[in-house]
Chain A
Amino acid sequence: MSDAAFGVSAVASVTLLTVLIGSFALRFSRTTSDFYVASRSVSPLWNASAIGGEYLSAASFLGVAGLILTYGVDMLWFPVGYTAGYLVLLVLVAAPLRRSGAYTLPDFAEARLESMVVRRIASVMVVLIGWLYLLPQLVGAGLTLRLATGVPGWLGGLLVAAVVVFSVATGGMRSITFVQAFQYWLKLTALAVPVVFLALAWRGDGSPSLDGTSAPTFRERTTVNVSEGTTFLVTSPVRVRVTGVLDGQPYAGVGLRLARGSHVAGRGARLTFPAGTAVPHAESIEPSAGGDWATPLSGAGGREHPLYSTYSLILALFFGTMGLPHVLVRFYTNPDGRAARRTTLIVLALLGGFYLFPTVYGALARLYTPDLLLTGRTDAAVLLLPQRLVGGLLGDLLGALVTAGAFAAFLSTSSGLTVSVAGVLSQDVLRGTVRDFRLAAALAVAVPFLISLGAASLAVADVVGLAFAVAASSFCPLLLLGIWWRRLTDVGAAAGLLAGGGLATIAVSATIAGASRDGWLGALLAQPAAWTVPLAFLVMIVVSMRTPGRVPPNVARTMVRLHAPEALPLRRDPPAHRRPV
């Protein structure tokens, strides 16, 4: 099968390049300090590319287009939020965070609040958020590899997990910086080049309207391969030719008329729909119908309370970015606070450039790959479009390029997260040697990999959104109040972390476990940020005001360290926490 050959070579070359660049850089990383933080000698453009490479995960590369395909224009808030989160981070935390000298969020918590208890709580939150964010990466990797090569889903996850552990455990941060920077540009190319050909093919097709004024239909006779059993809903009766098991009956190429309602396609069934029929959709998703799709606040896919959900999502994404563990580590590799700001500015430009593309893929996918609504595998839209729309050898080559980009997305984000989670595990649970770091890296990936085996049907971008919600409800208040408010106390910080982070985690777990999204309770659980973030702030502030005696003794000096420009020779006593030496 030639399709598989293209897919395999794309995945193999990305993997090989990643390992090569990683081991090349390994020659430079000798000391523990190199290992953790690249000895803080990375230029702003390199650093910004690396941040972009690390940040653009499976959710951005595949998930956004899939969500747009399904739910329409409201989903554009995902890319807007992912980018705007960096603006909030830039203006409120970038420079002070770099000046704090903290390498991880727990380091910051300990240095600012002079409390081991707060440090421990922060460590637990980092590991939780890291695992929550790693989970969809591994799920997405499984999906991509299965589409590209036909191997079972778990193998893709395992491959990504293995490459990540290898590259992190052998090279640490230094090699990660090079790898990440390379992967940003690979990801951008992998989306930008095919878009040109997709647009040409779309024009060649007579520029059909993209604004979804009608419900999605099969434009031509389409055969859908149901690789895993699916329950789908038929909205108006359709004629279909079936090979395989449908509604418990085996068929061999028989024409059937499917009545309105729910139907079950067995594993490996092939359903052929004639041109012009409305696309049935998987029971797990409710795509916006017709013109709703292009209209904001259409209650995306039957999600109730769209205005609340939109605002809650905006809040989670805007304020969650600063609390992502793998983002913070990158700021440490800037030489000073000023460079940290400039790096962030470049990151905004890099992200803005990238996010122009997933929207185009999502809109085109509504026209050309609506069958994904039936299988529910909407995250595959980006991967399938080149073959579907361009076709031929060129389509295969572009498909291979997109697959390579997607694989780069899993590798880079997973590596970044693994470095952070492993850093925390090795410093706070183990003894912090290089050997411990390697062990911790394996541990950091193994847990989400095991969870991913049982959670294959999650929408990638949705789960990432949940990770943002937890980060926004825990680390955002800790950072903002820690940096700008002298009277924050250790008791207040701990209470706020537990209240905000704890409640957000509970809401998120309920959603992942499959709690109903109906009604107000469903909306509040599915998008918790709008209530957990203010709650976390409130608890931190009120408890701190009630415990004025617990204000850290060295807060004044800490504030000098966080805010005074490096140009001025001032006393900024080093933080008390254990730094990588």
Chain B
Amino acid sequence: MTEQPPRRIRIESPRRSAARAPVSRTRPVSHDIDEQTHVGEVYMGSLLRTQLRLAVGICLIFAVLLGGLPLLFAIEPGLADVRVLGVPLPWLLLGVLVHPVLIGGAWFYVRQAERNERDWVELVERS
């Protein structure tokens, strides 16, 4: 470990810091994240939770949409005889329609994930 210069301590009148409440932090949160303080952990945890919630949400939607198909075909064998434009429904669903839905889901995810990150960066920079 290299010798660290002693930390600068600012001494203020209690009246002055009280006037600036409620936010009385004197150093940015990014510093807390760097130092791995409790505050930093809380901020990182919130980013992780937001992104994980989004990711798991998308996965669940597609688990139901795609994962439900075999079950649907098993419960309702009559679907195999339904035709759209002359193509049996299972072929149309699995061969064509799945793909635009996947791309749509991916596009939505990218937009939300970037928004979450922007919000988080703002939150950290503002503090």
Residues of A within 8 A of B (CB): 73, 76-77, 79-80, 83-84, 86-88, 90-92, 95, 211, 294-297, 307, 310-311, 314, 338, 341-342, 344-345, 348-349, 351-353, 355-356, 359, 363, 484, 556-557, 559-560, 563-565, 567-571
Contact = CB atoms under 8 A, between A and B. Distances in A.
Contact of A570 (B33, B41, B73, B103): B33
Nearest to B116: A565
B47 A564 contact: yes
A560 B36 CA distance: 10
Contact of A568 (B52, B59, B106, B124): B124
B73 A90 contact: no
Contact of A80 (B33, B48, B94): B94
B99 A352 contact: yes
Given A95-B113, A311-B70, A484-B52, A559 B44 contact: yes
Contact of A83 (B59, B90, B99, B107): B99
Nearest to A73: B90
B94 A83 contact: no
Interface in B50-85: 51-52, 54-55, 58-59, 62, 66-67, 69-71, 73-74, 77, 80
B62 A341 contact: no
Contacts of B41: 556
B71 to A, nearest CB: 8
Given A91-B58, A297-B74, A563-B51, A342 B91 contact: no
A80 B124 contact: no
A348 B88 CA distance: 25
Given A80-B66, A564-B44, A564-B47, A297 B73 contact: yes
A359 B95 contact: yes
Given A73-B91, A297-B74, A356-B99, A91 B114 contact: no
Contacts of A76: 90-91, 94-95
A64 to B, nearest CB: 11
B14 interface: no
A90 B124 CA distance: 25
Contact of B102 (A87, A310, A338): A87
A84 B67 contact: no
Nearest to B55: A91
A295 B59 CA distance: 27
Given A90-B109, A296-B73, A560-B33, 7 more contacts: A91-B59, A297-B73, A348-B102, A352-B99, A356-B96, A563-B48, A568-B125
Contacts of A294: 80, 88, 90-91
Contact of B110 (A83, A341, A359): A341
Given A352-B100, A356-B95, A87 B106 contact: yes
Nearest to A291: B80
A296 B92 CA distance: 12
A559 B33 CA distance: 11
A563 B44 CA distance: 8
B34 interface: yes
Majority DSSP secondary structure for residues of B touching A:
helix
A24 B126 CA distance: 49
B98 interface: yes
Given A296-B73, A338-B114, A92 B55 contact: yes
Nearest to B81: A295
The 6 closest A-B pairs by CB, nearest first: A352-B99, A76-B94, A296-B73, A91-B55, A565-B117, A571-B34
A556 to B, nearest CB: 5
Contacts of B30: 568-570
A379 to B, nearest CB: 19
A304 to B, nearest CB: 15
A79 B99 CA distance: 10
Given A83-B98, A338-B114, A356-B95, A295 B80 contact: yes
7 contacts: A76-B94, A90-B110, A211-B91, A295-B90, A297-B73, A352-B103, A356-B96
A452 B124 CA distance: 55
Contacts of A484: 48, 52
Given A295-B80, A556-B41, A568-B125, A355 B70 contact: no
B59 A307 contact: no
A408 to B, nearest CB: 22
A87 B105 contact: yes
Contacts of A77: 94
Given A563-B44, A563-B47, A307 B102 contact: no
Contacts of B39: none
A200 to B, nearest CB: 17
